[in-house]
Amino acid sequence: MEYIYSQNQILFAQIMSYIKSTLEDGIRSIVIDKPESLNALDTQVIKELSDEIDKVYNNNQIKVVILTGAGKAFVAGANISEMSVLNQEEGYKFGMAGAALFRKIETLPIPVIAAVNGFALGGGCELALACDIRIASDKAKFGQPEVSLGITPGFSATVRLPKIVGVGMAKELIFSGKIIDAVEALRIGLVNSVTTPEELMNSALELAKMIASRASGAVHKSKVSINDSSDMSTNEAIENECKLFSECFTTYEQIEGMKAFLEKRRPNF
Protein backbone atom coordinates (compact mmCIF):
# COMPACT_ATOMS: atom_id res chain seq x y z
CA MET A 1 0.00 0.00 0.00
CA GLU A 2 1.48 3.35 -1.04
CA TYR A 3 0.73 6.79 0.32
CA ILE A 4 1.60 10.18 -1.13
CA TYR A 5 2.24 12.91 1.44
CA SER A 6 2.88 16.59 1.03
CA GLN A 7 6.02 18.04 2.61
CA ASN A 8 3.88 19.65 5.33
CA GLN A 9 2.20 16.33 6.10
CA ILE A 10 5.57 14.59 6.40
CA LEU A 11 6.83 17.30 8.77
CA PHE A 12 3.66 17.04 10.85
CA ALA A 13 4.04 13.26 11.09
CA GLN A 14 7.63 13.65 12.25
CA ILE A 15 6.69 16.15 14.96
CA MET A 16 3.51 14.50 16.22
CA SER A 17 3.98 11.99 19.00
CA TYR A 18 1.21 9.95 20.57
CA ILE A 19 3.26 8.39 23.37
CA LYS A 20 3.98 10.31 26.57
CA SER A 21 6.19 8.93 29.31
CA THR A 22 7.69 9.85 32.67
CA LEU A 23 10.19 8.14 34.96
CA GLU A 24 10.10 8.48 38.73
CA ASP A 25 11.49 6.18 41.44
CA GLY A 26 12.21 3.46 38.91
CA ILE A 27 8.66 3.49 37.53
CA ARG A 28 8.08 4.34 33.87
CA SER A 29 4.56 5.59 33.24
CA ILE A 30 3.61 5.35 29.55
CA VAL A 31 0.46 7.04 28.23
CA ILE A 32 -1.01 6.41 24.79
CA ASP A 33 -2.27 9.90 24.02
CA LYS A 34 -4.48 10.04 20.93
CA PRO A 35 -7.88 10.74 22.50
CA GLU A 36 -9.45 11.96 19.26
CA SER A 37 -9.42 8.32 18.07
CA LEU A 38 -9.84 6.83 21.56
CA ASN A 39 -6.16 5.85 21.35
CA ALA A 40 -6.79 3.46 18.45
CA LEU A 41 -3.76 1.48 17.36
CA ASP A 42 -2.64 2.54 13.92
CA THR A 43 0.75 2.02 12.30
CA GLN A 44 2.22 5.17 13.82
CA VAL A 45 1.01 4.48 17.37
CA ILE A 46 2.31 0.90 17.15
CA LYS A 47 5.71 2.16 15.93
CA GLU A 48 5.96 4.83 18.63
CA LEU A 49 4.95 2.47 21.41
CA SER A 50 7.44 -0.12 20.14
CA ASP A 51 10.19 2.52 20.19
CA GLU A 52 9.21 3.47 23.75
CA ILE A 53 9.40 -0.16 24.88
CA ASP A 54 12.86 -0.38 23.31
CA LYS A 55 13.92 2.51 25.51
CA VAL A 56 12.68 0.60 28.55
CA TYR A 57 14.77 -2.41 27.52
CA ASN A 58 17.86 -0.22 27.38
CA ASN A 59 17.37 1.56 30.72
CA ASN A 60 18.36 -0.50 33.77
CA GLN A 61 17.01 2.20 36.10
CA ILE A 62 13.44 1.20 35.20
CA LYS A 63 11.98 -1.49 37.47
CA VAL A 64 8.28 -1.37 36.60
CA VAL A 65 6.17 -0.02 33.73
CA ILE A 66 2.62 1.34 34.03
CA LEU A 67 0.77 1.52 30.72
CA THR A 68 -2.45 3.51 30.33
CA GLY A 69 -4.43 5.63 27.90
CA ALA A 70 -5.43 9.30 27.80
CA GLY A 71 -9.05 10.39 27.88
CA LYS A 72 -12.01 8.00 27.90
CA ALA A 73 -10.18 4.94 26.59
CA PHE A 74 -7.29 2.67 27.37
CA VAL A 75 -7.20 1.65 23.72
CA ALA A 76 -10.52 1.36 21.89
CA GLY A 77 -9.05 -1.07 19.34
CA ALA A 78 -7.02 -1.11 16.18
CA ASN A 79 -7.69 1.65 13.66
CA ILE A 80 -10.57 0.39 11.52
CA SER A 81 -10.15 3.12 8.91
CA GLU A 82 -6.62 1.93 8.27
CA MET A 83 -7.57 -1.76 8.29
CA SER A 84 -10.55 -1.34 5.98
CA VAL A 85 -8.38 -0.86 2.88
CA LEU A 86 -5.81 -3.60 3.55
CA ASN A 87 -5.35 -6.62 1.31
CA GLN A 88 -4.27 -10.03 2.64
CA GLU A 89 -0.53 -9.33 2.56
CA GLU A 90 -0.97 -5.93 4.17
CA GLY A 91 -3.30 -7.41 6.79
CA TYR A 92 -0.63 -9.97 7.67
CA LYS A 93 2.02 -7.25 8.06
CA PHE A 94 -0.29 -5.10 10.19
CA GLY A 95 -1.18 -8.06 12.40
CA MET A 96 2.46 -9.04 12.82
CA ALA A 97 3.43 -5.46 13.72
CA GLY A 98 0.95 -5.42 16.57
CA ALA A 99 1.72 -9.00 17.61
CA ALA A 100 5.47 -8.30 17.68
CA LEU A 101 4.93 -5.23 19.85
CA PHE A 102 2.73 -7.11 22.31
CA ARG A 103 5.20 -10.00 22.48
CA LYS A 104 7.92 -7.45 23.21
CA ILE A 105 5.83 -6.13 26.10
CA GLU A 106 5.04 -9.64 27.35
CA THR A 107 8.73 -10.60 27.43
CA LEU A 108 10.00 -7.31 28.85
CA PRO A 109 12.42 -8.19 31.68
CA ILE A 110 10.40 -6.09 34.13
CA PRO A 111 6.72 -6.20 35.15
CA VAL A 112 4.18 -4.21 33.15
CA ILE A 113 0.96 -3.04 34.81
CA ALA A 114 -1.98 -2.06 32.60
CA ALA A 115 -4.05 0.69 34.20
CA VAL A 116 -7.23 0.28 32.16
CA ASN A 117 -9.15 3.53 32.42
CA GLY A 118 -11.88 3.01 29.82
CA PHE A 119 -12.51 1.08 26.61
CA ALA A 120 -10.15 -1.86 26.08
CA LEU A 121 -11.63 -3.43 22.97
CA GLY A 122 -10.05 -5.55 20.25
CA GLY A 123 -6.41 -4.51 20.06
CA GLY A 124 -6.85 -2.63 23.33
CA CYS A 125 -7.91 -5.77 25.18
CA GLU A 126 -5.04 -7.62 23.50
CA LEU A 127 -2.62 -4.94 24.70
CA ALA A 128 -3.88 -5.38 28.26
CA LEU A 129 -3.50 -9.16 27.89
CA ALA A 130 0.18 -8.70 26.99
CA CYS A 131 0.78 -6.91 30.30
CA ASP A 132 1.58 -8.85 33.47
CA ILE A 133 -1.06 -7.29 35.72
CA ARG A 134 -4.30 -5.50 34.86
CA ILE A 135 -5.95 -2.96 37.15
CA ALA A 136 -9.25 -1.57 35.88
CA SER A 137 -11.39 1.47 36.52
CA ASP A 138 -15.01 0.58 37.24
CA LYS A 139 -15.74 2.47 34.00
CA ALA A 140 -13.59 0.10 31.91
CA LYS A 141 -15.09 -2.08 29.19
CA PHE A 142 -13.42 -5.16 27.71
CA GLY A 143 -14.09 -7.24 24.63
CA GLN A 144 -12.88 -8.84 21.41
CA PRO A 145 -15.53 -7.65 18.94
CA GLU A 146 -13.55 -8.48 15.81
CA VAL A 147 -16.05 -11.07 14.50
CA SER A 148 -18.62 -8.28 14.10
CA LEU A 149 -16.17 -6.70 11.63
CA GLY A 150 -15.65 -9.90 9.68
CA ILE A 151 -12.17 -10.60 11.06
CA THR A 152 -10.50 -12.63 13.78
CA PRO A 153 -8.44 -11.08 16.58
CA GLY A 154 -5.10 -10.17 15.01
CA PHE A 155 -2.86 -9.22 17.93
CA SER A 156 -2.78 -12.61 19.74
CA ALA A 157 -6.03 -12.66 21.75
CA THR A 158 -6.67 -16.24 20.62
CA VAL A 159 -3.32 -17.14 22.17
CA ARG A 160 -3.33 -15.17 25.44
CA LEU A 161 -7.00 -14.90 26.40
CA PRO A 162 -7.50 -18.68 26.87
CA LYS A 163 -4.47 -18.81 29.16
CA ILE A 164 -5.88 -16.04 31.35
CA VAL A 165 -9.63 -16.76 31.51
CA GLY A 166 -9.77 -20.37 30.31
CA VAL A 167 -10.57 -21.84 26.91
CA GLY A 168 -14.35 -21.90 27.29
CA MET A 169 -14.66 -18.30 28.43
CA ALA A 170 -12.19 -17.11 25.78
CA LYS A 171 -14.23 -18.82 23.07
CA GLU A 172 -17.43 -17.25 24.40
CA LEU A 173 -15.95 -13.75 24.36
CA ILE A 174 -14.28 -14.10 20.96
CA PHE A 175 -17.10 -15.97 19.18
CA SER A 176 -19.82 -13.61 20.48
CA GLY A 177 -17.83 -10.39 20.31
CA LYS A 178 -19.69 -9.19 23.40
CA ILE A 179 -18.47 -6.36 25.62
CA ILE A 180 -18.13 -6.91 29.36
CA ASP A 181 -17.74 -4.45 32.22
CA ALA A 182 -14.98 -4.33 34.83
CA VAL A 183 -16.95 -6.33 37.41
CA GLU A 184 -17.41 -9.22 34.99
CA ALA A 185 -13.77 -8.92 33.91
CA LEU A 186 -12.77 -9.32 37.55
CA ARG A 187 -15.08 -12.29 38.04
CA ILE A 188 -13.56 -14.24 35.15
CA GLY A 189 -9.98 -13.34 36.06
CA LEU A 190 -9.32 -10.98 33.17
CA VAL A 191 -8.28 -8.22 35.58
CA ASN A 192 -6.59 -8.35 38.98
CA SER A 193 -8.58 -5.61 40.68
CA VAL A 194 -11.15 -2.88 40.08
CA THR A 195 -11.10 0.62 41.52
CA THR A 196 -12.63 4.03 40.88
CA PRO A 197 -11.41 6.21 38.01
CA GLU A 198 -10.02 8.68 40.55
CA GLU A 199 -7.97 6.00 42.32
CA LEU A 200 -6.84 4.02 39.27
CA MET A 201 -3.38 5.50 38.84
CA ASN A 202 -2.81 5.65 42.59
CA SER A 203 -3.62 1.94 42.82
CA ALA A 204 -1.28 1.16 39.93
CA LEU A 205 1.48 3.31 41.44
CA GLU A 206 1.09 1.74 44.87
CA LEU A 207 1.55 -1.73 43.41
CA ALA A 208 4.38 -0.55 41.15
CA LYS A 209 6.25 0.94 44.13
CA MET A 210 5.87 -2.29 46.06
CA ILE A 211 7.29 -4.30 43.15
CA ALA A 212 10.08 -1.75 42.58
CA SER A 213 11.17 -2.14 46.23
CA ARG A 214 11.83 -5.86 45.75
CA ALA A 215 14.93 -7.52 44.30
CA SER A 216 14.67 -6.67 40.61
CA GLY A 217 16.70 -9.68 39.49
CA ALA A 218 14.46 -12.04 41.43
CA VAL A 219 11.34 -10.37 40.02
CA HIS A 220 12.74 -10.76 36.51
CA LYS A 221 13.56 -14.44 36.99
CA SER A 222 10.10 -15.05 38.44
CA LYS A 223 8.51 -13.46 35.36
CA VAL A 224 10.68 -15.57 33.05
CA SER A 225 9.73 -18.75 34.93
CA ILE A 226 6.00 -18.00 34.78
CA ASN A 227 6.11 -17.09 31.09
CA ASP A 228 8.26 -20.07 30.12
CA SER A 229 6.13 -22.59 32.00
CA SER A 230 3.15 -22.20 29.67
CA ASP A 231 5.19 -23.67 26.80
CA MET A 232 6.76 -26.50 28.84
CA SER A 233 5.71 -29.80 30.32
CA THR A 234 5.31 -29.82 34.12
CA ASN A 235 8.68 -31.53 34.60
CA GLU A 236 10.43 -29.09 32.26
CA ALA A 237 8.84 -26.12 34.02
CA ILE A 238 9.90 -27.38 37.44
CA GLU A 239 13.46 -27.91 36.22
CA ASN A 240 13.47 -24.42 34.69
CA GLU A 241 12.27 -22.86 37.94
CA CYS A 242 14.95 -24.67 39.93
CA LYS A 243 17.61 -23.45 37.49
CA LEU A 244 16.46 -19.84 37.83
CA PHE A 245 16.20 -20.26 41.61
CA SER A 246 19.78 -21.53 41.81
CA GLU A 247 21.04 -18.59 39.73
CA CYS A 248 19.80 -16.23 42.44
CA PHE A 249 22.52 -17.58 44.74
CA THR A 250 25.15 -15.90 42.58
CA THR A 251 23.71 -12.41 43.19
CA TYR A 252 24.20 -9.56 45.63
CA GLU A 253 20.43 -9.39 46.02
CA GLN A 254 20.28 -12.86 47.54
CA ILE A 255 23.09 -12.13 49.98
CA GLU A 256 21.62 -8.75 50.97
CA GLY A 257 18.04 -9.98 51.14
CA MET A 258 18.77 -12.88 53.47
CA LYS A 259 21.23 -10.90 55.55
CA ALA A 260 18.65 -8.13 56.03
CA PHE A 261 16.04 -10.69 57.06
CA LEU A 262 18.33 -12.21 59.68
CA GLU A 263 19.30 -8.77 60.93
CA LYS A 264 15.64 -7.71 61.07
CA ARG A 265 16.04 -4.71 58.76
CA ARG A 266 14.90 -3.63 55.29
CA PRO A 267 17.10 -4.90 52.45
CA ASN A 268 19.07 -2.40 50.40
CA PHE A 269 18.56 -3.59 46.83
Query: Phi/psi of residue 115, each to 5°?
Result: -100, 95
Catalytic residue among 24, 106, 146, 236: 146
Decide if 251 contacts 258 (C-beta within 8 A). Answer: no
Taking the CA of residue 111 as centre, how many other CA atoms within 13 Å lie in the half-sphere pointing to its CB? 28
Q: How many whole angstroms separate alpha carbon 59 and alpha carbon 109?
A: 11
Q: How many whole angstroms separate alpha carbon 252 and alpha carbon 198?
A: 39
Amino acid at site 245: F
3 state DSSP class of 269: coil
Residue 151 DSSP class: -
Amino acid at site 59: N
Cα–Cα distances in Å, from 154 out to 78, 85, 98, 189, 225?
Answer: 9, 16, 8, 22, 26
Query: Phi/psi of residue 149, each to 5°?
Result: -105, 0
Angle, to 10 degrees, between the axis of helix 88-106 and the axis of helix 123-130? 30
Known catalytic residue at 146: yes
Nearest one of 125, 31, 17 to 71, comparing CA atoms: 31
Catalytic residue among 2, 48, 126, 263: 126
Annotated catalytic residues are 126, 146
